[in-house]
Amino acid sequence: MHMTWPSSCVTSITWPHLTWRSRRSVNAMRATVESHESSLVLPPIKIMVALGKEDLSIKMSDRGGGVPLRKIERLFSYMYSTAPTPQPGSEGTPLAGFGYGLPISRLYAKYFQGDLQLFSMEGFGTDALIYLKALSTDSVERLPVYNKSAWRHYQTIQEAGDWCVPSTEPKNTSTYRTS
């Protein structure tokens, strides 16, 4: 693996960030090995990191054969995988084939106001670009607000006026007319 990291790029990376970034590198390694299994030398997977004023961009390039354009968005669907499905009881822990790696990776990126995009050339390889905020102050968690208004909403007992929810008071049926 060949990596380019700018000397001015000082950042703190937490374990979850490394985990979801490594999911993409596992895909790249598997695809490269599978598409070049008859070769004695495998082409490198290139990783380039660029720090701009707003974004920290990570580009991973492989020569794993690529994916047809019509399948790119499907790669971000849960349970869809280009890898063979792992067989139960097989030796070792499977690293691919469940269809969760790329969707979760994109979810993590978007959670921190970034993105994950794939650009592929069928028959050649794929570039994955991960965009994150350069400043940690720009990359904030968007949490729900819990204030007095929200507290009142959750404390209010809402009774439905139908037969599904029993009433605490008996209804006076003498006011109803029958024809």
46 belongs to a structural domain: yes
**pLDDT at residue 5 greater than cutoff 70:** no
| Gap between the Cα atoms of 83 and 38, Å rounded | 18
Which tens digit of pLDDT belongs to each residue from 103-112? 888 888 888 8
154 belongs to a structural domain: no
Let me know: does 45 contact 29? Beta carbons within 8 Å. Answer: yes
Q: What is the pTM of this model?
A: 0.59
158 belongs to a structural domain: no
DSSP 78: T
- Among candidates 55, 63, 51, 61, which has minimal Cα distance to 2? 61
The whole-number pLDDT of residue 68 equals 92
**pLDDT at residue 97 greater than cutoff 80:** no
163 belongs to a structural domain: no
Choose from 12-16, 22-26, 100-104, 126-130 the range with maximum mean pLDDT.
126-130
Give residue 67's domain range: 2-133
CATH of the domain at 114: 3.30.565.10
112 belongs to a structural domain: yes
Q: How confident is the model at residue 22 (pLDDT cuts 50, 70, 90)?
A: low
Percent of the chain with pLDDT over 70: 60
Between 97 and 122, where is the model more confident?
A: 122
Beta strand 2-4 pairing with 46-51: parallel
152 belongs to a structural domain: no
144 belongs to a structural domain: no
- Six-digit token string for 103: 């969707």
The structural domain count of the chain equals: 1
